[in-house]
Chain A
Amino acid sequence: MIYRRGQKVLVQGITGKQGSFWAEKMLECGTDVVAGVNPKRAGDSHLGIPIFRSAVEASREQRCDISVIFIPPTMARDAVIDAIDAGVGTIVVLTEHIPSHDVLEIFARARTSHSRIVGPNTAGIVTPGEGFIGIMPGHNPNIFMPGNVGVISRSGSLGTLMCLNLTRAGLGQSAFIGIGGDPIIGTTTRDALETLDRDERTKAVVLVGEIGGAMEEEAAEYARTMKKPVVSFIAGRSSPPDKKMGHAGAIVTGGRGGYASKRAALEAAGVRVADTPSEIAEFLSQAHVG
């Protein structure tokens, strides 16, 4: 789930408005986009990239390591299953509002495959200096800068702010991993944390969480075992219960998924939790990162 230059990228939905716009940005940034999918335009090319009928057909002609899904919610299931059938290793699902039962089918299929799903409802992944996948401003040097801080975020907008703050403080990033704002996602906070822990370039991790679910608590169990410093910000402390805060996953119900439990679990694991976003860079400096 860390993008490396040279990895071949397939864009499903490359001819759509957003797919086209972001494919171009990815290319500008150095991402190796090699193929696109649109069943109605198979055989054509778009932005100089060949278009195939399906991910399965694309992968017969061209190695595809990563696929990114720019497909509307009602058709997203079929697109992701196509990518799984094509044997794509990492599938980044940007689509928000995929019906829950379609999501269950996607994960049932993924379970018996070698594909890793990132998302749904993720803004994507960025490796500054190498490329990005998704709808993040990976091409903007004011926001992303190569370095050694790994960033995990459920939210794209807040993740962007965090990276921007780090860059301004002179702290570059080794990788940004957007895991997505849905309750059911393929790559959890803990999965991303384990990956960044194993990554040699990453010297410290910023974990940007949200209320809802128990992913931060599960990640805290792993953080306890880490030698690299981990600092965190959890959004939603002031959000009222029983209301979905934009993200389907960001909801506190029956006392579960609340801010206090996440903060306590992280602090017990030695993770400093910031009250406001700009404290993160200070915490990292105090931990002698940078």
Chain B
Amino acid sequence: MNLEEYAAKQNVLAPAGVPIPNGTVCRSAEEASVAVAKIGPSVIKAQVPIGKRGKSGGIKMADTPADGAAIASEILGMTIGGSRVERVLVEERCAIERELYAAVLVDVTSRSPLVLFSTEGGMDIEEVADKKPDAIRRHVVDVARGFGVSDAAVLLGDLDLGPAADAVADVLVKLYRVFCEKDAELLEVNPLALLRGGKVVALDCKFVLDDASTARQPELVKVASAPKMTSLEERGAAHGLRFIQLDGNVGVLANGAGLTMTTMDVIDHFGGRPANFLEIGGEAYTKAEVALDLVLSNPGVKSLVVNFCGAFARTDVMADGVVRAWETLKPKVPAFFTIHGTGADEAVKLVRERLGIEPYDLMEDAVKAAVEAAQ
């Protein structure tokens, strides 16, 4: 789950004591005009969960309230990174001397938190990592020890930050602490600006909340941007099913993430296009009925592959759900089954007797038939 810039600043950085510019969130040109009148020369920034705002024209300067209104009405309603801009952040314009980069993230390789720092702030950090890998300093944190001022001092070493060095170290320590407290996957400040006069301010902020930690961060969930979903995807989510709608013609009903992806790949291999990802493995395997309804409600679907391979999930339970749903929904699209593993004998019998459909022995054959039927 991502937080937009303003939400990350207000709910993560400010409570942690990381300095942020004076600013106001505005939803209309009038509000932006009032904000600029109060703040003075400002930067007006589109608020969206992802996307390159600068390059898309989503960040502009306003000197007067009239500018503020004009720019806000221009930015509000734009589409950036697939999202419609509904809010802008009006912030005081800072006299930037240097742009730095700071981040803390969950690092897969070291299985530890990783603190990153660079004096090449303001740019896309992946570009910096490509072109000047030495410009990024890294500190793998031992979570038992934490990350303190002395660790920050070592990380900043001989970087010549002048009198601001202590303030930067302080920000790094606070970022690490709040990264842990708020269950972040990623907390990134880019740029972390060094201002004329030696002040250090977080000009932008990216915060990604760990999806598995939402239950213990209810306050952040409230301010997080809702994941973009189609209405079918929302219906799936309401039933605890992870359904991803695609624009293909062959519907997929399989158990387990690995088998579902594979079914999609085999559809693609035989020249078809998968119409969805839908996982009904794990605890969700009894929800076959809801799942079938979802898959068949996708307008592009011309045929259906049902691929069950029971390990943890019992194929007879899943098949029973599908058969019941089939009898209720009476779908017109042809379905091609392949069923193996735990409970397969009962499952195959159910499908054969109740639906009059003979399951295929080989998954590839079932998929091939479904692809042909969809064309």
Contacts and interface: CB of A to CB of B under 8 A. Distances in A.
Contacts of A154: 258
A155 B108 contact: no
Contacts of A156: 256, 258, 281, 311-312
Given A105-B143, A157-B259, A158-B262, A99 B341 contact: no
Contacts of A103: 111
Contact of A108 (B112, B312, B341, B363): B112
Nearest to B214: A99
A99 B213 CA distance: 5
B362 A73 contact: no
Contact of A246 (B210, B269, B281): B281
Given A99-B183, A160-B310, A184 B111 contact: yes
B25 interface: no
A287 B340 CA distance: 27
A136 B183 CA distance: 32
A225 interface: no
A104 B113 contact: yes
Among A101, A213, A233, A275, chain B packs the most CB atoms within 10 A around the CB of A101
A218 B212 CA distance: 27
A136 B313 CA distance: 10
Given A238-B268, A239-B264, A183 B313 contact: no
- Dominant secondary structure of chain A at its interface with chain B: loop
Interface string B111-144: 1110000000000001000000000000000111
A211 B269 CA distance: 16
B212 A160 contact: no
Interface in B124-169: 126, 142-144
Contacts of B309: 157-158, 160-161, 164
B192 interface: no
Among A73, A153, A184, chain B packs the most CB atoms within 10 A around the CB of A184
Contact of A101 (B183, B211, B215, B267): B183
A237 B263 CA distance: 11
B264 A238 contact: yes
Among A142, A181, A276, chain B packs the most CB atoms within 10 A around the CB of A276
Interface string B330-345: 0000000000111010
Given A104-B113, A136-B311, A160-B341, A213 B126 contact: no
Of the four ranges (under 10, 10 to 19, 20 to 34, 35 or more), the interface on chain A belongs to 35 or more
A135 B279 contact: no
A235 B311 contact: no
B303 interface: no
B246 to A, nearest CB: 7
A236 B265 contact: yes
- Dominant secondary structure of chain B at its interface with chain A: mixed
Contacts of A208: 258
Of the four ranges (under 10, 10 to 19, 20 to 34, 35 or more), the interface on chain B belongs to 35 or more
A200 B335 CA distance: 45
A236 B311 contact: no
B221 to A, nearest CB: 13
B341 A104 contact: no
A154 B259 CA distance: 11
Contact of B363 (A73, A101, A136, A278): A278
Interface in A198-244: 208, 210-211, 213, 233, 235-240, 243-244
A248 B213 CA distance: 13
B68 to A, nearest CB: 34
Given A135-B311, A184-B111, A98 B106 contact: no
Interface string B225-254: 000000000000000001010100000001
Contacts of A96: 282
Given A104-B112, A239-B261, A246-B242, A157 B311 contact: yes
Interface of A: 73-74, 96-101, 103-105, 107-109, 111, 123, 135-137, 140, 142-143, 153-161, 164, 181, 183-184, 208, 210-211, 213, 233, 235-240, 243-248, 250, 254, 275-278
18 contacts: A99-B210, A100-B210, A101-B183, A104-B143, A123-B311, A135-B311, A155-B258, A158-B259, A158-B309, A161-B262, A161-B341, A184-B108, A184-B111, A235-B265, A237-B268, A246-B281, A247-B258, A250-B261
